[in-house]
Amino acid sequence: MAIKRFTSVLVLSLASSGVAIAQKPAAQLPLTYIDTTWSMPTGTNWAAQTAAQFRSALTSAKPGDVITLDAGVVYTGNFVIPAKSNPNSQWIYVVSSNLSSLPAPGTQVSPSDAVNMPKIVTAGATQAVRLANGADHWRFVGIEIYSASTYAPSSYTPGVYYGYSLVDNLCYPNFTGCPNPPVLPHDITWDRMYVHGDATHDLQQGIDGNQISVAVVDSYISDIHMKGTDTQAFVAYMTPGPIKLNNNHLEAAGENVLIGGSGRGAGGWVPSDITVTNNYLYKPLSWVTPSLNGTWVVKNSFELKSAQRVLFDSNIIENKWSAGQVGGAFLFTIRTSQSGDIAVVHDVTVTNNIFKNVVRGFDLMEADYMCGTTSYPNCHNAGDTDRIVISNNLVTLGDPTQTGWINQHTGLIAFSTGYDQINKAYPPVKDVVVQHNSVVSNPNGPCWNAVYFGAPQAWKLPFPYPPTNNVWILDNVLCRQPTGDWGLHGTSGLTQYMGTPGTPPYDLTQRFYGNVMYVPVGDKVQAFPPHNYATTVPMVYANQSTADYQLVSPYWTDTSDGQLAGVNFTGYTAQSTGKKAVEPGSSQSTGKRR
């Protein structure tokens, strides 16, 4: 569904110095978008009907050639994608012989398309496909990849087998014979792929994206789960970017998508210029029981531990319950302890998304409290989170009576300072805009909190300084009045939580503006700055039966921009029938391709 964009919020950039200044924050968008326009090479076509022929074709094919694998044939083994001399940056395509029977470019495949796909299968726990140092300009199209591993750790249930990533790099630092820093593969595209585990095969990752200029488009990654271990449909942590995820089904127990969180900064890179558009991030409800009994680790849907210039637009996240983590579906959680002292979470734009059946929309942490602890003694910088725009997103909360949905801190967003062990300080969350979002309670119970502010337990009232700085909460529809640690409410509470800056025109009266807040039975209606509205009358939406949560009553337009509070659902019907928003940099976009 293509929710209307509030462009005034989206695309301003701060001074190149990155120094926080007293004005409404804005996030810089990706500087580079990956072009995945379909363009079949016209060179030699290498027909590979067996695994041996496939290996031979990988060796013999030249840039500008095509390797064709037979639909339905199983190619068993661990295949290495080689580097080749490629001065003209020509592509090699590896495609299905039944390519014409698969969905056209720009259309997502599904498991039903597997009949027209060749199958690359690893017989052991190791990767099915590995990219050699410097491998470049490879595009895989219309291929199924899965594991037939027969390796089972002693702790595993009989009949369940273990595997690593299905797609990964051949070399990493400290691997024997590998350079440090690594010579990363680059210009790698996975197009209309079906990459998956199954009920008897646990997998750590579907696709490992530690390459330069990697794209996954129109693909279906599913059944990625593992006992006692984080898992991801897509993960990238040792790459400068850019990264493109567009129009995919992404299904994993741990994090559907994880950026950052490992590598300790090897290569000196922060993953950058990341575009995530029109994807479906999904966790099946059948996973609730195995996640709660400890069989599988279930966490959030999208997590940033080290990243900059990220656009997360027009995606759907469905199902996030409390298991491995209590928190939200989308985490901003800087981890210099894992990603190296260079790690940051900067310039992130989250717009026009729908979060369905979740415990909370967003969690945002300013500093890495693990840096400098005994677990990570070599970490010397707690990092920071800065310039975040969260605009025009819908969050519908799960049923608190369901198993796995606990009614605690549920709502739109929770802010946390974290603790800077190095400087013995609690740096405030800073430079965040939360505007024109709607959070909707489940009919079976009120939300616990809509906006929650964490404050250090060591503090006493009044706080020595607010735990946030330059945070703007504008024009939202909230399922409850904001609060936080120490249970503060109303204008006086917000002054403690988000009182800086305190001088016009950036004072609290301008930074908490235009919000509509529901007050459930038992709560007191609080006083707030002008232009906000707290009501004991339940919200009325356009059509909840079709999930159209355009606000009808109260019709609140006393907002910072004069538009109706909450999400704007113009174009909702088109999106719900499968029409996708135009991705940045496409030939249909008005933006310039870089």
Give the per-residue pLDDT at 408. Answer: 66
Give the per-residue pLDDT at 546. Answer: 85
Whole-model pTM: value is 0.93
Give the per-residue pLDDT at 5. Answer: 40
- Enter the DSSP assignment of 250: E
Interior/surface letters 156-181, b for 16+ CB within 10 angstroms, e for the rest: beeeebbbbbbbbbbbbeeeeeeeee
Give the per-residue pLDDT at 545. Answer: 86
CA distance 383 to 343: 6
Specify the 3-state DSSP secondary structure of 141: strand
Interior/surface letters 470-503, b for 16+ CB within 10 angstroms, e for the rest: bbbbbbbbbbbbbbbbbebbbbebbbbbbbbbee
For the record, the structure tokens of 409 come out as 């801190």
Give the per-residue pLDDT at 585. Answer: 41
Q: Which amino acid is at 141?
A: V
Q: What are phi and psi of 101, to 5 degrees?
A: -95, -5
Pairing of strands 255-259, 232-236: parallel
| Contact call for residues 387 and 14 (beta carbons, < 8 A) | yes
DSSP secondary structure string, 218-247? S-EEEEE--TTS--EEEEE-S----EEEES
Give the per-residue pLDDT at 64. Answer: 98
Helix (H) or strand (E) holding 259: strand 255-259
CA distance 30 to 243: 10
Identify the burial level of 540 via C-beta atoms within 10 angstroms of its C-beta, where 0-12 means exposed, 13-18 middle and 19 or more buried. Answer: exposed
CA distances from 582 to 257, 366, 548, 588 (A): 21, 32, 21, 7
Contacts of 545 (CB under 8 A, 6+ apart): none
- Number of continuous H segments (helices) and E segments (strands) in the chain: 7, 44
Torsion, CA 368, CA 373, CA 379, CA 385, rounded to 10: 10
| Contact call for residues 292 and 327 (beta carbons, < 8 A) | no
Specify the 3-state DSSP secondary structure of 286: helix
CA-based nearest residue to 25, from 310, 270, 346, 314: 346
Pairing of strands 316-320, 255-259: unpaired
Per-residue pLDDT of the chain (594 residues), as tens digits, is 444 443 333 333 333 333 344 699 999 999 999 999 999 999 999 999 999 999 999 999 999 999 999 999 999 999 999 999 999 999 999 999 999 999 999 999 999 999 999 999 999 999 999 999 999 999 999 999 999 999 999 989 899 999 999 999 998 877 777 887 778 999 999 999 999 999 999 999 999 999 999 999 999 999 999 998 999 999 999 999 999 999 999 999 999 999 999 888 777 899 999 999 999 999 999 999 888 887 888 999 999 999 999 999 999 999 999 887 777 999 999 999 999 999 999 999 999 999 999 999 999 999 999 999 999 999 999 999 999 999 999 999 999 888 877 766 689 999 999 999 999 999 999 999 999 999 999 998 889 999 999 999 899 999 999 999 999 999 999 999 999 999 999 999 999 999 999 999 999 999 999 999 999 999 999 999 999 999 999 999 999 888 889 999 999 999 999 999 999 977 443 333 333 433 444 433 333 222
